[in-house]
């Protein structure tokens, strides 16, 4: 996989403020506010930072949590994970493996068969409809 490496000022110039806050500053968009929370069009979700393929619409489901939720990534190599202990919680942070952009978190309360819920900020995603 090709790693995407840019300076913070390059990211700041390319991303809109909300994308920058989420992807580069590990921000979280307000629940139920994101562009893709209730979008179920067929297509592929790419990283808003670098364009890497992250999720397929087939794996998107309505978790009711207020953010786009997926049961699996688009490929085994698409995501990177790290333990996040901020806000007094132990969570698993999910990042784009190519550019390191923060996407959201993964929780073990998803649907069959993976049992995973990838809770992802809309601002970190770009849907390419198919």
Strands 53-56, 60-61: pairing kind:
unpaired
The single residue among 15, 20, 34, 52 that binds Zn ion, judged by CB under 5 A, is 52
Q: Is 97 in the site for Zn ion (CB under 5 A)?
A: no
Choosing from 15, 69, 98, 103, the residue that interacts with Zn ion (CB under 5 A) is 98
- Member of 50, 78, 106, 119 binding Zn ion (CB under 5 A): 50
Distances (CA, A) of 115 to 108, 109, 122: 6, 6, 21
Cβ-based nearer residue to Zn ion, 69 or 103: 103
* Closer CB to Zn ion, 87 or 126, in the complex: 126
Contact 16, 91 (CB under 8 A): no
35 and 121 Cβ atoms separated by less than 8 Å: no
Active site residue 119: yes
CB atoms within 10 A of CB 125: 24
Shortest approach of Zn ion to residue 101 CB, angstroms? 5
- Under 8 Å between Cβ of 85 and 92: no
Q: Is 22 in the site for Zn ion (CB under 5 A)?
A: no
- H or E element that contains 23: helix 17-23
Q: How far is the CB of 53 from Zn ion (least distance, A)?
A: 10
Q: Where along the sequence are the contacts to Zn ion (CB under 5 A)?
A: 47, 49-50, 52, 96, 98-99, 101
Tell me the catalytic residues.
119
């Amino acid at each position: 996989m090709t790693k995407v490496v840019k300076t913070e000022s390059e990211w700041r110039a390319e991303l809109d403020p909300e994308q920058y806050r989420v992807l580069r500053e590990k921000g979280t968009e307000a629940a139920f506010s994101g562009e893709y929370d209730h979008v179920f069009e067929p297509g592929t979700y790419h990283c808003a930072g670098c364009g890497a393929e992250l999720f397929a619409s087939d794996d998107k489901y309505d978790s009711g949590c207020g953010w786009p939720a997926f049961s699996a990534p688009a490929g085994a190599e698409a995501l990177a994970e790290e333990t996040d202990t901020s806000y007094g919680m132990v969570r698993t942070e999910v990042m784009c493996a190519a550019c390191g952009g923060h996407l959201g978190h993964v929780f073990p309360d998803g649907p069959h068969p993976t049992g995973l819920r990838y809770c992802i900020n809309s601002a970190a995603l770009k849907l390419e409809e198919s």
